[in-house]
Chain A
């Protein structure tokens, strides 16, 4: 709570976030590069899936992050809704493009993995696939809502409501493979040599998410301040 209050002041946030923003971004690039190297050159082929299993190193962490980013946005929207925290809306808004990007990445790489493994690019009857597609559309709707309203205050309120309603989809995605009999398999146990590169890429995506969200929050705050100065000057003229 004390940290939340501390960062309610945009000036404090700007002072404290500069180096973490670039640091997390650089760490994310490094970890993803290491993970990709392991995924392509070090890890042996899987005894069941063959080399198609290499796609999992970019697909699975993308799906983890798609849920994590949305949960982060829902948390920030709740904070905005309940406490009217100055930066909560900015945080949720700044996280959305990365969330949409990793969700799209998860859908596309999953489809590419599915064709040689399942024999189909897409299956409309599969609850996991369709619920993740719904998540992607919620991300797009959330991003669109910010530019569809008259004022930023109205947009923030509407976006927060959409985000909180959309959070219902998270448990549906997670449990879809258990609740419904689908093409998508349940979570499997992987050997350490497969697990660690996946964790490295996941940490890389997570660090990139942290760094890029902070960068976008900084851009949002600078933009708001610039707009305020421009409007003040126009009013004075």
Chain B
């Protein structure tokens, strides 16, 4: 299993790098969406609070 003779280090390194790169882009994108969502929620909350203060 996972023994490709003299090519083993080349094959496993290639697949390892491929999985690491794809997972890296995936995690970066998900974290970016989460951070943007938090930033927008905070900005909208501050906006509605200032509107309420103005109404009061």
Contact = CB atoms under 8 A, between A and B. Distances in A.
Interface of A: 25, 29, 32, 36, 39-40, 45, 50-52, 54-55, 58-59, 62, 97-98, 101-102, 104-105, 108-109, 112-113, 115-116, 205, 208, 212, 215-216, 218-220, 222-223, 225-226, 229-230, 232-233, 236
B18 A215 contact: no
Interface of B: 2, 4-8, 10-11, 13-15, 17-19, 21-22, 24-26, 28-30, 32-33, 35-37, 39-40, 42-44, 46-47, 50
Contacts of B46: 229-230, 233
Contacts of B17: 105, 108-109, 112
Given A25-B26, A105-B18, A236-B50, A54 B33 contact: no
Given A55-B11, A230-B43, A233-B47, A116 B26 contact: no
Contacts of B5: 50-51
Contacts of B21: 101-102, 104-105
Given A98-B25, A109-B18, A233-B50, A116 B39 contact: no
Chain B's interface: helix, strand, loop or mixed, by majority?
A: helix
Nearest to B50: A233
A58 B14 contact: yes
A55 B10 contact: yes
A113 B36 contact: no
Contacts, number: 115
B39 A216 contact: no
Contact of B11 (A29, A52, A215): A52
Given A105-B17, A226-B36, A208 B22 contact: yes
Nearest to B34: A219
6 tightest Cβ-Cβ pairs between the two chains A and B: A51-B4, A222-B36, A229-B43, A58-B18, A219-B36, A51-B7
Contact of B40 (A29, A36, A225): A225
Contact of A40 (B15, B28, B29): B15
Given A62-B18, A112-B13, 5 more contacts: A54-B7, A216-B32, A219-B33, A225-B43, A230-B46
Contacts of A233: 43, 46-47, 50
23 contacts: A25-B26, A32-B22, A36-B15, A40-B2, A40-B15, A50-B7, A51-B7, A51-B11, A97-B25, A97-B28, A109-B14, A109-B17, A112-B14, A115-B10, A116-B6, A116-B7, A208-B22, A215-B29, A216-B32, A225-B43, A229-B44, A229-B47, A233-B43
B40 A226 contact: yes
